[in-house]
Amino acid sequence: MKFKTFAAFVGPSIFLMLLFIAVPLVIVFVQSFYVTQPVFETVPVEICTPGFPAPKCVTEHKTRPVIGDDGKVVKQVKYVGLDSYRSVLEPARAWAVLKTLDFKQLLTIDFWKALRFTLTFTLVTLPLVVGIGLLIAVAVNSVSRLIRGPVIFVSLLPFIITPVIGALSVRWLFIGDGIMTSFLEWLTNQDIAVFAHGWAIELLMMFYRVWHVAPFAFVVFYAGLQTVNKDTLESAVIDGASRWQRLRYVLIPHLMPLIVFVSLIHLMDTYRVFDEIVGFSSQAYRISLQWLTYDFLTPDDSGNRSISRASASAMLTMIGIIVLLVPLLQKTWRDHKGGRI
């Protein structure tokens, strides 16, 4: 392929990636080192109270924001270095807690609380999504062709549902007198408040994520199963290999590139978990790193937003994603080099 033809195909994608990914990422990185604050001024204000024969007046000094000629509050940008990262991580407080080995106190710091949930959510759902998706793909690949189409359609339904809508649907099943809560109360003959416990909400969020994403893994693995060498499978059957042995020694090695691909997509998506936090309204019990960034950007009572801390939180989230992806990327690179030799 000529370079001009290659550039014509790849150039627009590279340009859009630079414009909508690289440039915003650099801007966020720079913003994490600066704080934008209103400019305040102290002015004398005379306060008078009615009195006879003359009112009593007292002069007080009050601080108020400076209003510019355009009628808006004047703001200044100040370089603060790593202060925003320190404000998010609270390293001094976290280190003091770690020295006492009281990890419950560590989870009172928003960032570490969000990091704990994000890592747990990501690392628990990853093997479940891959495992369940693979099992569904193998099962569907084994059924009769007459019912394979309807089975695939039903299996894809959870992935079609909008994430927030799906999370709200599961939440409504259990919150208050939801259908599932009422059934559990009837079954156990006692009152149950599922959403009064943080661990129960966390389990429901994990269940929903696996239920929602496993169909994606299933589709990828099912497509990969169509390329398995039939002669190899027949040889394994003739040699007396069981279903488990065929899965372990034939199918899984063949699907390993797809397993790595699904794992990469899942890690990048799940580490930025946000829909479940909103859908299950779990902010009082469980928060994620992505939700923490959103919370920093929410205006306070004065209308101000912590853009610098939000940028620092976003950069820390990016670092976490990279750390999780490094082992999988290294494996992909080794497999790529091995394939070229």
Residue 225 maps to which CATH number? 1.10.3720.10
Q: In terms of pTM, does the model score above 0.95?
A: no
Residue 131's pLDDT band (cuts 50, 70, 90): very high
Cis peptide before 24 (omega within 30 of 0): no
Best CA proximity match to 276, nearest among 144, 198, 185, 164: 164
Asked whether residue 258 is domain-assigned, the answer is yes
For residue 99, the model assigns a pLDDT of 77
Asked whether residue 25 is domain-assigned, the answer is no
Asked whether residue 67 is domain-assigned, the answer is no
For residue 1, the model assigns a pLDDT of 66
Average pLDDT, the chain: 86
Q: Measured between alpha carbons, how far is 152 from 142 in angstroms, rounded to an integer?
A: 12
Asked whether residue 313 is domain-assigned, the answer is yes
Q: What is the mean pLDDT of residues 224-251?
A: 85
Asked whether residue 328 is domain-assigned, the answer is yes
Q: Measured between alpha carbons, how far is 270 from 260 in angstroms, rounded to an integer?
A: 15
CB atoms within 10 A of CB 103: 11
Q: Rounded to whole angstroms, what are the CA distances from 247 to 210, 244, 276? A: 22, 5, 33
pLDDT of residue 117 exceeding 90, the answer is yes
Residue 35, sorted as left (phi over 0), alpha (psi -120 to 50) or beta, turns out to be beta
SS3 category, 47: strand
Residues 6 or more apart whose Cβ sits within 8 Å of residue 121: 202, 205, 206, 209, 270, 273, 276, 288
Give the model confidence (pLDDT) of 53-84 as tens digits: 777 787 887 777 778 777 777 778 888 889 99
Q: What is the mean pLDDT of residues 317-338?
A: 84
Asked whether residue 41 is domain-assigned, the answer is no
Residue 102's pLDDT band (cuts 50, 70, 90): confident
pLDDT of residue 341 exceeding 70, the answer is no
Total domains in the chain come to: 1
Residues 6 or more apart whose Cβ sits within 8 Å of residue 242: none
Share of the chain above pLDDT 90, in %: 30
Beta-sheet pairing, 34-38 with 75-79: antiparallel
Q: What is the mean pLDDT of residues 192-199?
A: 86
Domain that holds residue 271: 110-287+309-340
Q: What is the mean pLDDT of residues 284-296?
A: 91
Q: Measured between alpha carbons, how far is 297 from 289 in angstroms, rounded to an integer?
A: 13
SS3 category, 189: coil
For residue 210, the model assigns a pLDDT of 94
Asked whether residue 277 is domain-assigned, the answer is yes
Sign of the four-CA dihedral 283, 315, 165, 208:
negative
Residues 6 or more apart whose Cβ sits within 8 Å of residue 191: 185
Angle in degrees, 0-180, between the axes of helices 145-160 and 110-142, rounded to the nearest 10? 170
Give the model confidence (pLDDT) of 201-221 as tens digits: 999 999 999 999 999 999 999
For residue 213, the model assigns a pLDDT of 92
Q: Measured between alpha carbons, how far is 117 from 124 in angstroms, rounded to an integer?
A: 10
- CA 231 from chain centre, in angstroms, equals 42
For residue 162, the model assigns a pLDDT of 84
pLDDT of residue 246 exceeding 90, the answer is no
Asked whether residue 80 is domain-assigned, the answer is no
243 or 86, which is more confident: 86
Q: What is the mean pLDDT of residues 100-121?
A: 87
Residue 340's pLDDT band (cuts 50, 70, 90): low
For residue 211, the model assigns a pLDDT of 92
SS3 category, 71: coil
299 or 113, which is more confident: 113
pLDDT of residue 128 exceeding 90, the answer is yes
Q: What is the mean pLDDT of residues 127-149?
A: 88
pLDDT of residue 177 exceeding 60, the answer is yes
pLDDT of residue 304 exceeding 90, the answer is no
Residues 6 or more apart whose Cβ sits within 8 Å of residue 246: 233, 236, 237
DSSP calls for 267-305 = HHHHTT--HHHHHTT-TTT---HHHHHHHHHS--TTS--
Residue 30's pLDDT band (cuts 50, 70, 90): very high
Residue 4's pLDDT band (cuts 50, 70, 90): confident
For residue 338, the model assigns a pLDDT of 66
